[in-house]
């Protein structure tokens, strides 16, 4: 913006900050005269040559509409209500107000049914998962002994878990049947090397000739080689063994080797 000294007609460039500090009244830097810069204030210079800047006519103050902040209104004062008669005062005297911390304790006290129900549901879920994974947990070398100890103290019995990789056949022997022609009598000892009881397995016997060719195979269920039902229910105890006596047919009298496997 520009302003002109009315005495020496010198034109000066100035900014709004200078006008705001001086409130429009400035001193000419040429003739040292004091003048009102607002009277000749102009945004642009007129085309040259010029002598006087156009003077500004006094007008109404500008109206500001773009508000960026407004302080909150003061809260109205609350008038004190005075009871009209004595009975109203006595009613307020008998009013009991529970402290805030007391109400909080009461709400917390009501949470215990939900907490109890949540804990019971979590225990039920854990029991279902343990039952679904019972074979893995019982056969585990770390968790299995703990479960067996707990069950022994409670007087319960864990279900039988089968792990055929921990079964072995020892003291095997095969010979011609003493009373049945064309048959073989096989005796063996089945041992459980696992630290937990196992159900008796299905025993598969494969007969081979001298060239290693398979001649016959037979699968025997536990009830076929063990006649004791109580022993079948108990299973093969940890580290225990059971004697087996099997009668099989000798195909063409060529069987010289046999092999056991478990299912």
- pLDDT by residue, tens only, the chain of 263 residues: 888 888 888 888 888 787 777 777 888 988 988 888 888 778 778 777 777 777 766 555 655 555 555 667 676 665 555 555 555 556 656 655 555 555 555 555 577 888 888 888 888 887 777 677 766 777 776 776 777 777 777 777 777 788 888 888 887 777 777 777 877 788 888 888 888 888 888 888 888 877 778 877 888 888 887 777 888 888 888 888 888 877 777 776 677 777 888 88
186 located within any domain: yes
Is residue 97 domain-resident? no
Written as six digits, the tokens of 225 are: 């080689």
* Number of domains present in the structure of the chain: 3
Do 26 and 47 reside in the same domain of the chain?
yes
Mapped onto helix, strand or coil, the DSSP state of residue 159 is coil
Domain assignment present for residue 106? The answer is no
Domain range enclosing 53: 1-57
Q: Domain holding 184: CATH number?
A: 2.60.40
For residue 88, the model assigns a pLDDT of: 55
The pLDDT assigned to 95 comes to: 59
| Separation CA 51–CA 242 (nearest Å) | 131
Q: Are residues 51 and 7 in the same domain?
A: yes
For residue 140, being part of any structural domain is answered with yes
Sequential DSSP letters for 29-71: TTT--EEEGGGG-BSSPPSSS-SSPPPPPP-PPPPP------P
Q: Are residues 148 and 202 in the same domain?
A: no
Closest CA to 1 of 10, 11, 50: 11
- Would 77 be classed as within a structural domain? no
Among 114, 143, 159, the domain-final residue is 159
Q: Where a domain ends, among 23, 41, 57?
A: 57
pLDDT of residue 78: 58
pLDDT computed for residue 218 by the predictor: 80
Residue 198 domain-assigned (yes or no): yes
For residues 251 and 177, what is the distance between their CA atoms, to the nearest angstrom?
A: 13
Residues 136 and 186 in one domain: no
Task: Give which of 33, 45, 32 is closest to 1, Cα–Cα.
Answer: 45
Nearest-angstrom CA–CA distance, 195 and 182: 40
pLDDT of residue 103: 53
Shared domain check, 236 and 258: yes
Q: Which of 121, 144, 159 is the last residue of a domain?
A: 159
Query: Is residue 187 situated within a structural domain?
Result: yes
């Amino acid at each position: 913006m520009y302003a002109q000294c009315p005495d020496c007609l010198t034109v000066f460039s100035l900014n709004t900050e200078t006008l705001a500090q001086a409130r429009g009244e400035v001193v000419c830097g040429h003739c040292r005269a004091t003048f009102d810069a607002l009277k000749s204030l102009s945004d642009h210079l007129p085309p040259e040559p010029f002598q006087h800047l156009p003077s500004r006519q006094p007008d109404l103050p500008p109206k500001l509409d773009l508000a960026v902040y407004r302080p909150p209104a003061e809260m109205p004062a609350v008038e004190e209500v005075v009871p009209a008669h004595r009975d109203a005062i006595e009613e307020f005297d008998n009013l009991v107000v529970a402290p805030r911390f007391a109400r909080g304790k009461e709400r917390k006290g009501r949470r215990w049914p939900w907490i109890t129900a949540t804990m019971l549901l979590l225990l039920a879920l854990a029991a279902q998962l343990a039952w679904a994974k019972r074979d893995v947990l019982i056969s585990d070398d770390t968790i299995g002994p703990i479960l067996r100890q707990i069950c022994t103290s409670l007087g319960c019995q864990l279900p039988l878990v089968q792990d055929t990789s921990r079964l072995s056949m020892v003291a095997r022997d095969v010979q011609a049947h003493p009373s049945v022609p064309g048959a073989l009598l096989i005796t063996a000892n089945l041992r459980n090397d696992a630290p937990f009881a196992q159900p008796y397995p299905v025993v598969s016997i494969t007969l081979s000739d001298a060239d290693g060719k398979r001649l016959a195979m037979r699968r025997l269920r536990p009830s076929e080689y063990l006649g004791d039902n109580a022993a079948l229910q108990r299973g093969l105890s940890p580290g225990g063994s059971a004697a087996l006596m099997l009668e099989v047919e000798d195909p063409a009298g060529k069987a010289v080797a046999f092999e056991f496997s478990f299912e």
